[in-house]
Amino acid sequence: MTAGATLEVAGLARAFGGVYAVRDAGLTVAPGELRAVIGPNGAGKSTLFALIGGQLTADAGTVRLDGRRIDRLPPHRRAGLGVAVVFQAARIFADLTALENVMVGAHATTSAGFLAAALRLPAHHRQERLIRERAADCLARTGLAEWAGRPARELPLGRQRALQLARALCGRPRLLLLDEPASGLRAAERERLAELVAGLRSEGLTILLVEHDVAFVMRLADRITVLDLGRVIADGRPAEVRADPGVIGAYLGRAAA
């Protein structure tokens, strides 16, 4: 596993039609840390995630990876720097096999080049073999080895979510962004996912987890950032956040409304 990276977010803001979805948001994720972002519905979690991953451009603020600004880079450039994104909605290549889907994740780390591929040079063959081996290993790590030759469309939802994670790992990321990975999963699938994410953290991978399932987050996170109406209202260790009056008020207030 590639060593983890430091993520620094400062003063991040994004408005839609004059209404701020995220405003003056900031957080720092240390190397090897699992940082979770939680908040009530409409708190701005998905917008913040997209601003960090590059799917949206910020109106203000900065995103830095190990001190380098990446907030104006497109998603593929961020991927080349080691930022891997796993979305809530399963984004798979339905007609490719599970193994081929995972191999796609290594595209940002390939070096043989277009000419070597076009001419089928030995360098291309060597690299393709290594990528295939890496992809098979990632499938095994995520419990998908038996699905390797099956079309991705045949995988159940939980397995498709795991397939996205395997694809992200195939790129040997330094920072892994997970967008509500437990959403829609059954209890057994959620447990398997939690064990996998905990294992990645223990290997030193830096992880930013945006999640609605508070119990899932409390079990895994080193630190938690809480958003409400686009602003950070709390930041700390799980026990601290759980007892924070502002956090309790935000969740209970939304529930009452």
pLDDT in tens, 218-233: 999 999 999 999 999 9
Q: How far apart are CA 171 and CA 167, in angstroms?
A: 7
Q: How far apart are CA 83 and CA 85, in angstroms?
A: 7
> Considering the domain boundaries, does residue 67 fall inside one?
yes
> Considering the domain boundaries, does residue 159 fall inside one?
yes
The total number of structural domains that make up the chain: 1
Inter-residue contact 172 to 141 (CB < 8 Å): no
> Considering the domain boundaries, does residue 2 fall inside one?
no
Inter-residue contact 232 to 247 (CB < 8 Å): no
Percent pLDDT > 70 in the chain is 89
Average pLDDT over the chain reads 89
> Considering the domain boundaries, does residue 244 fall inside one?
yes
CATH of the domain at 198: 3.40.50.300
> Considering the domain boundaries, does residue 147 fall inside one?
yes
Enclosing H/E stretch for 246: helix 245-256
The residue range of the domain holding 37 is 7-256
Q: Give Cα separations from 233 to 74, 86, 247 (angstroms).
A: 29, 25, 7
Residue 109: pLDDT over 70: no
pLDDT value at position 125? Answer: 72
- Please tell me whether the overall predicted TM-score, pTM, comes out greater than 0.75 for this model: yes
pLDDT in tens, 161-219: 899 999 999 999 999 999 998 888 888 888 988 999 999 999 999 999 999 888 899 99
- Kindly provide the b/e burial profile for residues 14-53, where b requires at least 16 CB atoms within 10 angstroms of the residue's own CB: beeeeebbbbebebebeebbbbbbbbbeebbbbbbbbbbb
